[in-house]
Amino acid sequence: MSDFIVSIGLEVHVQLKTKTKMFCSCAADSQSPPNTNICPVCTGQPGVLPVKNEEAVLLGIRAGLALNCKIEKFSVFERKNYFYPDLPKAYQISQCELPLATGGFVEVNDRKVRLTRAHLEEDAGKLLHFIGSEPVDGSLVDLNRCGTPLLEIVSEPDIDSPQLAFDYLKTLRRIMRYAGVSDCDMEEGSLRCDCNISIRRSEDEPLGVKAEIKNMNSFKELKDASAYEIERQKKLVEGGGQVIQETRLWNSSKGKTFSMRSKEEAADYRYFPDPDLKPVYVSAGMLTKEKEALPSLPLEMKKKFLSRGLSEYQADILTDEKVLADYFDEVIAGVTPDGQEEAANIVISYLLAEFDQSALSLEELKKIVPPVHICELVKLRKEGKINKQVLKTIFPKMVKDGASPRDLAGDVDIVSDESAIIKLAEEAVKANTSSWEDYKSGKEKASGRIVAHVMKESRGAADPATVMKILKRMAGKC
Amino acid sequence: MSVKENISSCIERIKRDKTNSFIEIFEKRALRKAEGIDSRLASGDRNLPLAGEPVAIKDNMVIKGEAAGCASRILEGFVSPYDAEVVTRLENAGAVIVGRTNMDEFAMGSSTETSAFGPTRNPVDMERVPGGSSGGSAAAVASGLVPYSLGSDTGGSIRQPASFCGICGMKPTYGVVSRYGLIAFASSLDQIGPFAKDMDGIEKIFNIIAGKDEKDETSREIEKLSGKKGKLVCGIPKEFSGSSPEVKEVFDKAVKKLSRDFEIIDVSLPSTEYAVSIYYIIAPSEASSNLSRFDGIRYGFRAESEDLIDGYFKTRGQGFGDEVKRRIMLGAFALSSGYYDAYYMKALKVRRLIKNEFDSAFQKADVIISPTSPRTAFKLGEITDPLSLYLQDVYTIPANMAGLPAVSIPCGKDPAGLPVGFQIMAPRARDIFLIETAKKFEAVFSNE
Ligand SMILES: [Zn+2]
């Protein structure tokens, strides 16, 4: 099989986290019972007019800034005309010629995926099909989602593998969530993605004819669908065929893409500037406001954590979600430089483990286990006052009732007190006289029994290394 | 006489109407509202500048709980879930909306003959059209059924019927009256405005309905400044020269009368030559998109059909009349890929030129005057060729293209006794100044 260069471009729709819809004052909440968040405007009643939602424009600007785009001072809403029952006006208000943001890039695995543009538009409603069923035999339309604001982010065809497509989308989602512009939940539809795929034999050739793939409902489906489509195109070309420009639908149960319509059948959307809306003017004030509202982004946080001695792996995990990154950022502010890796360990191995088991959100967990408690743990560990066993014992308690580690460590009485361990060791020696003699005479292994006794009596709280140290001293070995 | 009695007798007058001005009388609602006004007046409410005044609205403005239909079959059965902004403002001022008036279907026409409810007749001569598209609103005022009515003007649809029926009609500056609740024809041109027998009446209604509305992004405030000191200069565009001999004679006489008190000069608006052509690109383009929502799915007429696509074709095929379909097709074509630049974009460029030419003309003249229509009211069925009908709006379309305020006031009659309208155009947002000027001219014309 000869090699091909793969070019993938992604069109990603993110639902902006506004209180109200793009052009009316209905709540932007598509999860409510059908047709409860609707009004004359978003149901396309005769005579209604759209009015821009300033919050959506601001979030669009912030998203554009987070994606390194140029924010256009002047952009225009246009009408994209087509008939469908989930589109009440029979046109979608979108941006075509003059989008809100242009250019930009996303850094993924040390690669730069360039962006073409990011523009604002309104979402359509949803069709619910009940064909052949009772009591409704047909399709019903829910217009709750209709008119909710979207940002469409279009990439250049810089992506050369399904894995990079996958990573790009993950990174994009992470950035959007950090920036607070969208929940980007694929299951709830606040993140949607189409991709354009083409192949060619060498860099010298122009881009091949592309196929557009729709209907991918998860990150894995994006990866699977693009992998399938690349193979399909390769086989086609190697068999002497030609890729045709078309839209294909991914069928996840069959694991294949199927042709939906060819270029010839594609709709002519008859775009033109919407005469009901004034252009979007982005003032210097709006730009400043959004620059200020933009928090540190994942890459920036990762670089910061790496500089504090964390591993790639740790930094990746800790920057996956903004709330976690912020949490850890607070933790490292409260520990000494030599404790930062330990802090990362505690957060990843204990806090996240608890989080996985719990029904709480990270925000809620943060209220129970504030970052300062992690700092205390790190300090106790550094001071040798608690060991791993104690950590394991007390962490669930910290999560259970929000107790501070210092208090919990006090409960497990022997922990910090070496004299307590000496006392336990002396008792253990008395209870295991033959082992003690063996040990003293040079059988190192014989210490196991005595250490086990101490551990048992201390309910696991004693540090085995400390016990060994004490035994050695008692045996006069040091 | 109570407001209720007054409205009641107004409704009786409308019921005896022979011109077919009204599509529907809102009898129950009007009487209920009238009672409300009566009790507000009785309780000493003095904040009702239009207390009990009956007003008719064109069938393309909506009232909550009432039907509105653009005189089209496609909106059969539609009842509005909300009020148009003009309705709210009129009712807050104490006006009583008595009914909805006939019009060309979706305001596409100049004669009120394309209505699905039959043509309206001109009260001046029942064999003739009242003009259009707001023919019902004009005829209703001309025949004394109501003192005031609202129309909408996209290319002359208020001024031309005012001219044909011998009354006053005003198209305000684009955006000065909210379009919220006006069923759109061509959004960048549509403007609601009043009809009345005289300019006092126009002013009275205008003051109530004008002003910024948060629900319409394209709406704006008017400039409250009035006229200038010194002699007013009236410009006559030399390109507006295609009038019939009858209209020309009456207009020239009117200008002569004005020349005693005002300075008359020639101005030039060379690009207005293309105004009608670009109007028939821009307006149908916007209409093709605006009228797409009438698909039979949520409201209005719905044809029996096999499936979704069949439903679109049948509903729209049977629901719209020929003129509407013609314009939707024109517009869809002009916007289609491959033609957009040649038609729509080019039309917008010419529109910009027209605007600029008006701006420079207003450097020399305070107002620009012309006949409202190149001819007087024609007979029903007399003009059937769409192109000839389109040319009826040659003097009125330029003001829509430039977004200017313009009025038509009567300035005399032709030998057959048919009224001739006199159009006055003013700079954008100078609506108050326009009304003041029109009142002065009105005084001159009615002095004879
Ligand atoms: Zn709404």
DSSP string computed for B155-221: SSTTHHHHHHHTSEEEEPSTTSB--TTBPPSSTTT--EEEEESSHHHHHHHHHHHBS--TT-TT--P
Beta strands at B168-171 and B233-237: parallel, antiparallel or unpaired? unpaired
Instruction: Compute and round to an integer the Cα radius of gyration of chain A.
Output: 30
The model carries a pTM of: 0.90
Q: Which residue has the tokens 């003192």?
A: B147
Q: Is B201 within the bounds of a domain? A: yes
Q: Above 90 in pLDDT, residue A253?
A: yes
What are φ and ψ of residue B352, in 5° steps? -60, -40
Q: Is B324 within the bounds of a domain? A: no
Q: What pLDDT is stored for residue B28 in this prediction? A: 97
B48 and B131 in a single domain? The answer is yes
Beta strands at A5-15 and A191-200: parallel, antiparallel or unpaired? antiparallel
Residues 6+ apart with CB under 8 A from B22: B14, B56, B99, B100, B101, B102, B136, B140, B145
Closest by Cα among B25, B99, B20, B96 to B58: B99
Task: Say how far residue B233 (Cα) sits from the centre of its chain.
Answer: 26
Least CB-CB distance to B297: which of A40, A85, A275? Answer: A85
DSSP SS3 for A140: strand
Q: Is B299 within the bounds of a domain? A: no
B194 and B261 in a single domain? The answer is no
B51 and B168 in a single domain? The answer is yes
Mean pLDDT lowest among A75-84, A445-454, B65-74: A445-454
- Calculate mean pLDDT across residues A303-328: 92
Question: Is the backbone of residue B20 left (phi > 0), alpha (psi -120 to 50) or beta?
Answer: left
Residues of B in Cβ contact (< 8 Å) with A88:
293, 297-298
Provide the percentage of residues in chain B whose pLDDT is more than 70. 99
B237 and B205 in a single domain? The answer is no
Q: Is B224 within the bounds of a domain? A: no
B135 and B87 in a single domain? The answer is yes
Q: Above 50 in pLDDT, residue A414?
A: no
Query: Which positions of B are annotated as active-site residues?
Result: 58, 133, 157
Q: What pLDDT is stored for residue A290 in this prediction? A: 95
Identify the band that residue B202 occupies on the pLDDT scale cut at 50, 70 and 90. Answer: very high
Contact A46 B80 (CB under 8 A): yes
Burial bucket for residue A313 (CB in 10 Å: 0-12, 13-18, 19+): exposed
Q: Determine the structural domain holding residue B237 and report its residue range.
A: 233-275+342-446
Contact A45 B337 (CB under 8 A): no
Q: What pLDDT is stored for residue A2 in this prediction? A: 61
With residue B406 as reference, give the H or E element that holds it. Answer: strand B406-413
ipTM associated with this complex: 0.96
Q: How far apart are the first and last CA of chain A?
A: 69
Q: Above 50 in pLDDT, residue A156?
A: yes
Contact A48 B82 (CB under 8 A): yes
In chain A, which residues fall in CATH 1.10.10? 418-474
Identify the band that residue A416 occupies on the pLDDT scale cut at 50, 70 and 90. Answer: low
B122 and B260 in a single domain? The answer is no
Closest by Cα among B249, B240, B241 to B413: B249
Identify the band that residue A314 occupies on the pLDDT scale cut at 50, 70 and 90. Answer: very high
Burial bucket for residue B395 (CB in 10 Å: 0-12, 13-18, 19+): buried
With residue A262 as reference, give the H or E element that holds it. Answer: strand A256-262
The pLDDT tens digits for A41-64 are 999 999 999 999 999 999 999 999
Q: Above 50 in pLDDT, residue B355?
A: yes
Q: Is B303 within the bounds of a domain? A: no
Among A185-189, A404-408, A422-426, B329-333, top mean pLDDT goes to B329-333
B154 and B27 in a single domain? The answer is yes
From residue B20, alpha-carbon distances to A27, B105, B123 in Å are 44, 15, 10
- Calculate mean pLDDT across residues A383-412: 80
Q: Is B116 within the bounds of a domain? A: yes
Residues 6+ apart with CB under 8 A from B280: B330, B390
Number of domains chain B contains: 2
Contact B80 A272 (CB under 8 A): no
The pLDDT tens digits for A208-236 are 999 999 999 999 999 999 999 999 999 99
Q: What pLDDT is stored for residue A123 in this prediction? A: 97
Query: In CATH, what number is assigned to the domain containing residue B73?
Result: 3.90.1300.10
Closest chain A residue to B332 measured between Cα atoms?
A270
Q: Which residue has the tokens 């903004």?
A: A322
Q: Is B329 within the bounds of a domain? A: no
Q: Above 80 in pLDDT, residue A384?
A: no
Identify the band that residue B247 occupies on the pLDDT scale cut at 50, 70 and 90. Answer: very high
With residue A5 as reference, give the H or E element that holds it. Answer: strand A5-15
Distance CA A221, CA A225 (A): 6
Q: Does A270 touch chain B (CB under 8 A)?
A: yes
Distance CA A349, CA A252 (A): 35
A148 CA → ligand 1 middle, Å: 9
CA angle B378, B381, B382 (to 5 degrees): 45
- Calculate mean pLDDT across residues A423-438: 88
B80 and B143 in a single domain? The answer is yes
Whether the Cβ atoms of residue A6 and residue A25 lie closer than 8 Å to each other: no
Residues of B in Cβ contact (< 8 Å) with A46:
62, 68, 70, 75, 78, 80, 183-184, 293-294, 299
Indicate the CATH number of A418-474 among 1.10.10, 3.40.50, 2.60.40, 1.50.10: 1.10.10
Distance CA A172, CA A158 (A): 14
User: Taking the CB of residue A130, how many other CB atoms lie within 10 A of it?
Assistant: 12
Mean pLDDT, chain B, whole residue set: 96
Q: How far apart are the first and last CA of chain B?
A: 35
Q: Is B225 within the bounds of a domain? A: no
Q: What pLDDT is stored for residue B226 in this prediction? A: 62
B58 and B202 in a single domain? The answer is yes
- Calculate mean pLDDT across residues A101-114: 95
From residue A96, alpha-carbon distances to A118, A248, A371 in Å are 10, 23, 46
- The string of DSSP letters for B246-284 reads HHHHHHHHHHHHHTTTSEEEEE--GGGGGHHHHHHHHHH
Q: Above 50 in pLDDT, residue B69?
A: yes
Chains A, B: CB contacts under 8 A, how many? 101
The pLDDT tens digits for B418-429 are 999 999 999 999
Least CB-CB distance to A81: which of B183, B289, B297? Answer: B289
Q: State both tokens at B47.
A: 């904040």
Q: State both tokens at A393.
A: 């014992």
- Calculate mean pLDDT across residues A147-167: 97
Q: Does A45 touch chain B (CB under 8 A)?
A: yes
B13 and B107 in a single domain? The answer is yes
Closest by Cα among B232, B237, B251, B190 to B358: B237
Mean pLDDT lowest among A317-326, B226-235, B258-267: B226-235
Q: Above 70 in pLDDT, residue B227?
A: no
Least CB-CB distance to B187: which of A270, A271, A276? Answer: A276
Distance CA A151, CA A186 (A): 15
Whether the Cβ atoms of residue B236 and residue B370 lie closer than 8 Å to each other: yes
Distance CA B289, CA B291 (A): 6
B161 and B16 in a single domain? The answer is yes
- Calculate mean pLDDT across residues A25-34: 93
The CB-side HSE value for B128 (13 A sphere, CA atoms) comes to 20
B160 and B95 in a single domain? The answer is yes
Q: What pLDDT is stored for residue A411 in this prediction? A: 60
Q: What pLDDT is stored for residue A170 in this prediction? A: 95
Closest chain A residue to B84 measured between Cα atoms?
A47
